[in-house]
Chain A
Amino acid sequence: MGIISPGFTGRGRSGSDLPPGQYLTQDFPVLSAGPTPHVLPEHWEFTIATESGEMHRWDWAAFQRLPAEEITRDLHCVTRWSKLATDWKGVSLDALFEDVETAADFVMAHSYGGYTTNLPLEDLLDGQAWIAYQYDGEPLAAEHGGPARLLVPHLYLWKSAKWVRGLVLSDTDDLGFWETAGYHEYGDPWKEQRYAGD
């Protein structure tokens, strides 16, 4: 008999790792507020527009030449499921903002299909956010936001805009798709900021 029993796979992670009001899931639920955009990489473009109107653009080839990172993070959806230790590959927003000059404090993320969500710029920088294009070693499926999605895992998952196509910098914290319909403007899962006023 071996030293390690066959069922032992290391220290399990349990509900104690979860923000308040969340439950653990092993699945990867698909939530969507509209039809799934199917954007081919050759037609994909990502832009950052500054508050002065300066536009920075990457097509898929230019985006793929940026340094990529392997990312393992927990995900927390405002609909109360959490999924732990998910594996992604993507480009840090720090790399994308390297040549962007801005004094703006806020960002509106825009997606193919029309979805929007608002975030403070400081939550996208310093190793906190990525444009992810692989999940579990595979190209990111369209149903999960492929070919590329925003990944901001320290906030509720509605902030990690699927099918992201651009960021618009602003001096004002305008509200996005769900934020204009009662969801919290920031969305910290550890403070359970689900709804406006939480």
Chain B
Amino acid sequence: MSADVPTYLDGNAAAGALREVFAVDLTAAIGKCTGCGHSAVFAEAHVYVDAPGMVARCPGCDNVLLRVVSTPNDTYLDLRGLTYLRISNTP
């Protein structure tokens, strides 16, 4: 394996898709990775959009944090790579 030219965007690229599902802006939320335990603002995630769905990966270990697939009838949201999302209650 060798170094790679990044093909991802930052977590802000997920804002639109997540706004379709959540009533709050998740890009400012703190997410904890189930893979390595790294906690970071979701905006720091590596987001891959040139794919059949949107995939957000941990900036520390590349574990999949979140996947969003929109079909004509449903939106599939897979959050299993996140131990939690910590969302501030203060505006």
A interface vs B, CB < 8 Å? 29-39, 78-79, 114, 158, 178, 180-183, 194-196
| Interface residue from B55, B69, B73, B76 paired with A34 (Cβ < 8 Å) | B55
A182→B69 CA distance, assembly (Å): 7
Is residue B4 within 8 Å, beta carbon to beta carbon, of the partner chain?
Answer: yes
Residue pair A79, B57 in contact (C-beta under 8 Å): no
- A30 adjacent to B50 (CB under 8 Å): yes
Q: Which of B6, B55, B74, B76 contacts A33 (CB 8 A)?
A: B55
Q: Which residues of B contact A29 (CB under 8 A)?
A: 50
Q: Does B25 contact A (CB under 8 A)?
A: no
A30 surroundings in chain B (CB, below 8 A): 7, 50
A36 touches B71 (CB 8 A): no
Q: How far is the CB of B76 from chain A (nearest CB, A)?
A: 4
Give the complex CA separation of A158 and B53 in angstroms.
11
| Number of B residues, CB within 8 Å of A | 24
* Distance in Å: Cβ of B59 to nearest Cβ of chain A: 11
Provide the main secondary structure of the chain B interface.
Answer: loop
Q: How far is the CB of A90 from chain B (nearest CB, A)?
A: 23
A182:B50 contact, CB within 8 angstroms? no
In the complex, which residue of chain B has the Cβ closest to the Cβ of A79? Answer: B52
B2 touches which of A31, A38, A181, A183 (Cβ 8 Å): A38
- Ranked nearest first, the 3 interchain pairs of A and B with the lowest CB-CB distance are A182-B76, A195-B71, A182-B69
Q: Are B57 and A182 in contact (CB under 8 A)?
A: no
Q: A34-B62, A35-B62, A39-B1 are in contact. Are A183 and B7 (CB under 8 A)?
A: no
Residue B67 at the chain A interface, CB threshold 8 Å:
yes
- CB < 8 Å neighbour of B48 from A33, A78, A114, A182: A33
Interchain CB contact under 8 A, A35 and B78: no
A31 to B7, CA, bound (A): 10
Asked if B50 contacts A31 (CB within 8 A), the reply is yes
For residue B51, CB closer than 8 A to chain A, the reply is yes
Shortest distance in angstroms between B49's beta carbon and chain A's nearest beta carbon? 10
Q: Nearest chain B CB to A165's CB is how many angstroms away?
A: 12
| Bound: A195/B74 CA distance, A | 10
State in angstroms the CA–CA spacing of A4 and B31 once bound together. 64
Residue pair A31, B53 in contact (C-beta under 8 Å): no
